[in-house]
Amino acid sequence: MSYQEIAERLGISRQGVCDAVTSAIKQLERYEAALGLMARLLKTRAEAAACRRHLEMVEPTPETRGALGAAIAALSNIDGIEG
């Protein structure tokens, strides 16, 4: 939605919507600086991808096939976590 559409729905000015969005973005940036959640998410995804690549290079045996498949599936689930 455009700022104008949001303003009309909320019954406020377009500038009010713009100010609220700008304020919210700044607050989110402060939270990220303090908590580092996005940085940790990106690092976790990169590490999960590296683990998956290494696991996919392992030649499965009948005894390890299930465990390797489960490990790769678990790493795929980690990638799917959006919070």
Interval 4-61: pLDDT, tens? 999 999 999 999 999 999 999 999 999 999 999 889 888 988 888 899 899 989 999 9
Structure confidence by residue, pLDDT tens digits, 59-77? 999 999 999 999 988 888 8
pLDDT at residue 8, rounded to an integer? 96
53 and 63 within one domain:
yes
16 shares its domain with 44: no
Would you say 75 and 51 are in contact if contact means Cβ atoms under 8 Å apart?
yes
Interacting residues of 7 by C-beta distance below 8 A, sequence separation 6+: 13, 14, 16, 17
Are residues 59 and 79 part of one domain?
yes
Residue range(s) defining the domain that contains residue 30: 1-35
Does the pTM of the predicted model rise above 0.95?
no
The domain total for the chain is 2
| Shared domain check, 64 and 79 | yes
Q: What is the largest CA-CA distance in the chain?
A: 66
Does 45 share its domain with 68?
yes
- Residue 55 contacts residue 72 (beta carbons within 8 Å): yes
Instruction: Indicate if 44 and 30 belong to the same structural domain.
Output: no
